[in-house]
Amino acid sequence: MRESLRDDVGDVVSLPFEVTRLVSLVPSLTESIAATHQHLIVGATDWCTHPADLDVTRVRGTKNPALDVIAELAPDVVLANAEENRAVDLDALRARGIAVWVTAPTTVDASLDSLERMLSAITGDVPGWLRDARAVWTPTYDEMRRRAVVPIWRRPWMALGRDTFAGDLLSRIGIDNVLAHSGERYPRIEPDELPDYDIVVLPDEPYAFSPTDGPEAFTRPAKCVSGRHLTWYGPSLVEARELLSGQLQ
């Protein structure tokens, strides 16, 4: 076993010298592994939709994983995220002797570093798509900027607040989150009580905002965007900058 590997939260993760079986509890991490090493994945959540042909045991959702099913799959490691997955579930897996690797990036740069660290530890290499993603997100944005509110849920209304990956990503294409200095990462909001803003960014996940569900609640122009490209860190980052820039014109 390798004893000196640490994940994003600083925990030592004991992995075998060769990982041959893993379960992913995070859709973007599932896609990240599957892009080059799909054969390693033996289990994934119901929300792991990429790649579309992923044929593995489903272990329910990110917030309610089927712990017994995961244990029966005998994974070398379970991939998780500090925000998407509950600590109580991850501790329960560790109590069963299952290694858990936790990611916790809150910026684009941190996500790329996190993926490189995780993939190097699990697969032993750094895929070409990760190098491409670094190149795509290296240039800075020096043109006119716009201020945005970025809802992520309604009933109740919630939006991006401070220290979020999606907020950092938007800032790199000229969109500044008006709630970036909020005391919460995902504050509740009232559409008619917001700071001044220019645009509403409506992703189609986690809430499925659409042209007929969301824009009508705001007085400023609203743009519907791909939630996967806004909130997932993985292979989607290679095309996310161009796609989101186009959707937000």
CA distance 59 to 98: 15
- Least confident range from 1-5, 115-119, 178-182: namely 1-5
Per-residue pLDDT at 143: 81
Per-residue pLDDT at 95: 98
Per-residue pLDDT at 4: 74
- Least confident range from 3-7, 54-58, 59-63, 182-186: namely 3-7
- Least confident range from 29-33, 58-62, 143-147, 241-245: namely 143-147
Contact between 146 and 244 (Cβ < 8 Å): no
Domains of the chain and CATH, by start = 22-135 (3.40.50.1980), 146-247 (3.40.50.1980)
* Mean pLDDT on 67-89: 98
Both tokens of 34, joined, read: 């599957």
DSSP of 86-149: -HHHHHHHHHTT--EEEE---SHHHHHHHHHHHHHHHTSS--HHHHHHHHHH-S---S--EEEE
141: pLDDT strictly greater than 90: no
133: pLDDT strictly greater than 70: yes
Where residue 3 falls among pLDDT bands split at 50, 70, 90? low
144: pLDDT strictly greater than 70: yes
* Mean pLDDT on 119-126: 96
User: The dihedral of CA 12, 15, 19, 20: what is its sign?
Assistant: negative
Q: What angle do the packed helices 237-247 and 108-122 form, to 10 degrees?
A: 150
140: pLDDT strictly greater than 90: no
* Mean pLDDT on 2-22: 92
Contact between 50 and 30 (Cβ < 8 Å): yes
CA distance 104 to 120: 17
Per-residue pLDDT at 41: 98
2: pLDDT strictly greater than 90: no
